[in-house]
Amino acid sequence: MTKTTAQSVSEQEQLTEIRNQIDAIDQQIQQLIGERAACAHKVAEIKTQGGKVDAVFYRPEREAQVLRAVKERNDSLLPDKEMAKLFREIMSTCLALEQPISVAYLGPEGSYSHSSVIKQFGTAAHPVAVSSIEEVFSVVEKGEVNYGIVPVENSTEGEVKATQDELLKSSLKVSGELELAVDHCLLSHATSSDKVSKVLAHQQALGQCREWLKNNLPWAELEAVSSNAAAAKIAQEDPSVAAIASEQAADLYQLPILEYHISDSKANTTRFWVLGREDVEPSGEDKTALVLSIKNEAGALLKILDAFAKRHINMTRIISRPSKSKNWDYVFFIDLIGHQHDENLKEALQEVVEQAAFVKILGSFPISPL
Ligand SMILES: O=C(O)C(=O)C[C@]1(C(=O)O)C=C[C@@H](O)C=C1
């Protein structure tokens, strides 16, 4: 026997031994996942006992607690986030066993909103593409789907106006929040960037890549379309057109990637909110979102902010938008750390209700562990 063959036999023996270990571990994991699924099935029975028809199966606060615990006890070679993603999938299939969950998003397939559905709900949920942010709100309101996901703000471009304006009118509750890294690519059948005469993308994506486009494709005509995925569909048909979209969209629409990482800010991130019809219980690490308008008097906004400041309630965002009911009349969207059931936040909100002209709590929801 040659040395190489002897070595490879011993390599084979080592592999066989470790693969036997993997087989035994997989058997245990499978057994345990099966037992977990049976527990989820029992949970569903408890939630529907007595013929309850309006049972709520998706519990974002519980999911956040499970994922936080996974990250907390993780001492494996896998990064915390990757371990949490595996459990995200296990819970997604357990929830599907209780009730198949449909989630509306701004389509078409391959949009960042689509990726956000999978990140938040896992692959066992049914993503339902609709054609506008307004429609995401309306299909959830009408009960045509269980939940919706909408972009709220982007780290480069700021707030998503359509979402803010719908939140003001809607009766829906913000039930969850997640952040998605938005890493744009330039997709096209063009053989090189200099053959591209037109770049299509959603207005937000064009804004997020403004500098890169100016420096690298100064000759190209820029045109805003309804979504990046819609841009990719057009680029499929015309090699002089490039679309700005994600790597996933390149796969889905089978478009070559001409350039990677073209966002002006390399940390470009979009925050999404989950919309539901029910309030969410505290998870232990939560946020509360509200919208209010102030009385027309000196120091009115200061008094409201003081209600939070004196109780050490951390405000993570404040933006103003036209109220749309009267010219030069504004509403303020405020995000706070804490749940509306927390004693100090409850007190602060009572004070704000007395001080403000109008207050609407959009919802309390877990801070995302993913
Ligand atoms: O604890 C529950 O209420 C469940 O339904 C179980 C479970 C899980 O698999 O852990 C599934 C779905 C919910 O969204 C939260 C958790």
What are the residues facing 224 on neighbouring strands? 201
Question: Is it the case that residue 135 has pLDDT exceeding 70?
Answer: yes
Q: How far is the CA of 94 from the centre of ligand 1 (A)?
A: 7
Q: How confident is the model at residue 247 (pLDDT cuts 50, 70, 90)?
A: confident
Whether residue 272 lies in the annotated active site: yes
Q: Domain 100-182+269-276 has what CATH class?
A: alpha beta
Q: Which atom of ligand 1 is nearest to the CA of 59?
A: 14
Q: pLDDT tens-digit profile of 105-131?
A: 998 888 889 999 999 999 999 999 998
Residue to substitute in 87, 94, 281 for testing ligand 1 pocket (most ligand atoms within 8 angstroms of CB): 94
**How high is the mean pLDDT of the chain?**
94
Q: pLDDT tens-digit profile of 215-234?
A: 999 999 999 998 888 899 99
What ipTM does the predicted assembly reach? 0.99
Residue-by-residue DSSP string for 271-316 = EEEEEESS-----SSEEEEEEEEE-SSTTHHHHHHHHHHTTTPPEE
pLDDT, position 147: 98
Q: What are phi and psi of 209, to 5 degrees?
A: -120, 15
Dihedral in degrees, nearest 10, Cα atoms 350, 352, 353, 359: -130
pLDDT, position 37: 98
Q: Where in the chain is the domain with CATH 3.40.190.10?
A: 100-182+269-276, 185-259
Question: CATH assignment of 185-259?
Answer: 3.40.190.10
Q: pLDDT tens-digit profile of 249-261?
A: 898 899 999 999 9
Q: Is the CB of 90 under 6 A from ligand 1?
A: no
- Of the residues 121, 137, 272, 365, which is catalytic? 272
Q: How far is the CA of 96 from the centre of ligand 1 (A)?
A: 10
Q: Whole-angstrom Cα distance, residue 337 to residue 339?
A: 7
Q: Is the CB of 58 under 6 A from ligand 1?
A: yes
Continuous segment of H or E residues that includes residue 137 = helix 133-141
Whether residue 87 lies in the annotated active site: no
Q: Is the CB of 189 under 6 A from ligand 1?
A: no
Question: CATH assignment of 286-366?
Answer: 3.30.70.260
Q: Where in the chain is the domain with CATH 3.30.70.260?
A: 286-366
> Alpha helices of 48-111 — where are they, by DSSP H?
60-73, 80-98
pLDDT, position 2: 52
Please say whether the beta carbons of 356 and 304 come within 8 A.
Answer: yes
User: Which of 181, 185, 202, 180 is CA-nearest to residue 247?
Assistant: 185
Tokens in use for 151? 């972009």
Q: Is the CB of 62 under 6 A from ligand 1?
A: yes
Measured CA angle at 286 (ends 285, 289), to 5 deg: 165
Tokens in use for 16? 């066989």
